[in-house]
Amino acid sequence: MSQTVEAMIQLDRVTRSFGDTLAVDDISFHVGAGEVLGFIGPNGAGKTTSMRILSTLDTPTSGEAWVDGFSVVDDPDRVRRRMGWMPDGFGTYPNINCEEYLDFFARSYGLRGKNRLRAIRNVMGFTQLNQLSKKPISGLSKGMKQRLCLGRALIHNPKVLILDEPAAGLDPRARIELREMILELANEGKSLLISSHILSELAEVCDRVAIIEKGKLLAIGSVDSLLNKGSEDSQEEKLVQLEVKFFSELSEAVRWFDARNDVALISSTENSIVFNYAACHKRQSKFLAELVSSKIEIYEFSEKQTSLEDVFLSVTRGEVQ
């Protein structure tokens, strides 16, 4: 086994079993420099176990994993110097404030003197915790605690960040602000592996997405390629979901669609019909021309856009282990 050139994060045929349960089943993928990879799957799919292995908190049953070229098994200390880990829940210490919390971790990473003070100042500025520096951690909101946890992961300026459900429990504004921070970190050249159940958020920040279920990697690719798979060629026939909005009576429109054997109705309202249609763009154009030439008065004909949620549902089966 060998490491992919310039891969900042890499798993190579990694498995992890707990008794009879195979939590991670022979998965391989990599994250390049400055890349954001979304890691998605249902609860119990093996995401957190994979991330714990990369974070040196667990060891694989078989296979290898590297961070910035160093083995998580053979060189865990070097990995920890280069990696920032943000778990889905993090512990705090009683009776300390934000600045003291970050100071503790800065010292733990061996930062001293001006370097330590500069690291704390930079992290508090980036996470916008300056005004809360003296506030006890116990009094922070969920969003501020997430910022503090991210700050802890950034305190030693790592090249790689592994974030497990960083947006969980955040309000819309806090999620937007977190998304902006993630994009800024990627622009600085940091590599990020992020798990989340908020798929719409991942679609906006990730370069690629990996889908895992029952420990197996089911799909991986750019967000665009997963969303538009099979749609690049206008002459290629594909199954799409279309919506027609009309002025005519519903019964008249339904009769017209029922008379065709190339459509499958999904739903209808007083002025719209959603249906599946397998065709290339040219045949869709012909279908629209036939619809316009009928007595049905339409005012909108559109393809329903596929979302990352749709891709996730089409790839996974909802199985747990």
Q: Which two tokens stand for residue 235?
A: 């002459």
Q: What is the DSSP letter of 7?
A: E
Over residues 211-235, the mean pLDDT reads 76
d(CA 143, CA 181) in angstroms, rounded, equals: 13
Under the banding of pLDDT at 50, 70 and 90, the label for residue 3 is low
Mean pLDDT, the chain, rounded, equals 88
d(CA 258, CA 267) in angstroms, rounded, equals: 13
In degrees, rounded to 5, the angle at the alpha carbon of residue 141 between the alpha carbons of residues 120 and 149 is 40
* Positive or negative: CA dihedral 90, 214, 13, 200: negative
Residue 128 falls in which region: left (phi positive, over 0), alpha (psi -120 to 50) or beta: left
Per-residue pLDDT tens digits for 181-201: 999 999 999 999 999 888 887
Give the global pTM: 0.79
d(CA 309, CA 307) in angstroms, rounded, equals: 5
- Domains delineated in the chain: 7-227 (3.40.50.300), 238-305 (3.30.70.920)
Per-residue pLDDT tens digits for 80-120: 999 999 998 777 777 899 999 999 999 999 999 999 999 99
Per-residue pLDDT tens digits for 44-77: 899 999 999 999 999 999 999 999 999 999 999 9
Under the banding of pLDDT at 50, 70 and 90, the label for residue 235 is low
d(CA 20, CA 11) in angstroms, rounded, equals: 22
Q: How many helices (H) and strands (E) does the chain have?
A: 11, 14
Q: What is the DSSP letter of 270?
A: S
The answer to whether residue 223 scores a pLDDT higher than 60 is yes
Q: Which of 38, 29, 33 minimizes the C-alpha distance to 3?
A: 29
Q: What is the DSSP letter of 306?
A: P
Q: What is the DSSP string of 123-170?
A: HHHHTT-GGGTTSBGGG--HHHHHHHHHHHHHTT--SEEEEESTTTT-
